[in-house]
Structure 1
Amino acid sequence: MSEDSQRSVVVERTSTGHFVATNTRGGTLHFGTASDGGGNTEFTPVELLLAAIGGCTAADVDVATSRHAEPTEFSISVTGDKISDDQGNRMTNLNVTFTVTFPDGEGADRARAILPRAVRTSHDRLCTVSRTVEIGTPVTTTIKDRGRDTDTP
């Protein structure tokens, strides 16, 4: 892979159950495990996955439709069921629902007409996050302990 294709973040623990992810541009995102009895408002890793799916497809669809008309409403709801079975913890029944409204007018009519195709193209080809989830990509983990690297399955 080339340097242009690689993406990365660094996740660091800030306290028990709390973490900060930093991207290569210096942006940060705080998240946690929500194990404090409900007072924690930080996103959990699972919620970040749902947000990543929604955000990725939202960006694709927004680019395609907003060149024709500015929406008066544009929201994406992403839901799923967290289960634990013989395959371990995972999400099932992932569902992405678009709620998009355009004002009246010729440009808005074009935006409405291409909306289904834009959603389908994002799902089938463009959204890196949902494509990765649907196709499935192996995850390799490495433990660095005092200079010793260990690959784990």
Structure 2
Amino acid sequence: MTDDTLRSVTVERTSTGRFLATNARGGTLSFGSVSDPDTDTGFTPVELLLAALAGCTAVDVDVATSRHAEPDRFTVEVSGHKISDELGNRLTDLRVTFSVSFPDGEGADRARAILPRAVRTSHDKLCTVSRTVETGTPVTATVEEA
């Protein structure tokens, strides 16, 4: 593989159960475990995976449809069941649901018409996140002594 195909983030512990992810462009995102479900609003790693699924497909669909019309509403909800079985902890029954509306007009009619195809194409070919989850990719974990 070449450097132009490599994608990476660095995750650093900031406190007990809290972490900061940094991408190659310097963007950051904090996340961690939920210590108190009543007060902790931060994202967990599982929620970040769900957001990545929604975000990846949303970007593809937005590019395809918004060139015809700006949506009045564009929401993507992703859900799944977190289970623990003989395969370990994992998500099952992942579901990506688009709720999109466009104003009246010729461009909006085109956007509405291509919306189902755009969602299908993103899911079947374009969205790296959903394609990776669906096809399954080995994950290698190593430890480097500092």
**Could you say which TM-score interval applies, normalised by the shorter chain?**
over 0.9
* Residue-by-residue CA offset, 1:68-100 (whole Å, 9 max, x unaligned): 000000000000000000000000010000000
Letter in 1 for 2:3: E
1:9-48 to structure 2, matched below 5 A, reads 9-48=9-48
1:1-153 to structure 2, matched below 5 A, reads 1-146=1-146
Tell me the distance in 2 between the aligned counterparts of 1:4 and 1:36.
41
Tell me the distance in 1 between the aligned counterparts of 2:93 and 2:109.
32
* Residue-by-residue CA offset, 1:21-75 (whole Å, 9 max, x unaligned): 0000000000011023432111000000000000000000000000000000000
Letter in 2 for 1:43: F
* Residue-by-residue CA offset, 1:92-136 (whole Å, 9 max, x unaligned): 010000000000000000000000000000000000000000000
SS of residue paired to 1:103: coil
Structure 1 unaligned residues grouped into runs of 5+: 147-153
Letter in 2 for 1:29: L
Q: How many residues get paired?
A: 146
Letter in 2 for 1:35: S
Letter in 1 for 2:83: I
- Give the 4+ runs in structure 1 shifted more than 4 A: none
Tell me the distance in 1 between the aligned counterparts of 2:37 and 2:77.
25
Letter in 2 for 1:100: V
Tell me the distance in 1 between the aligned counterparts of 2:38 and 2:10.
26
TM-score by length of 1: 0.94
Aligned-pair identity in percent equals 73
RMSD: 0.7
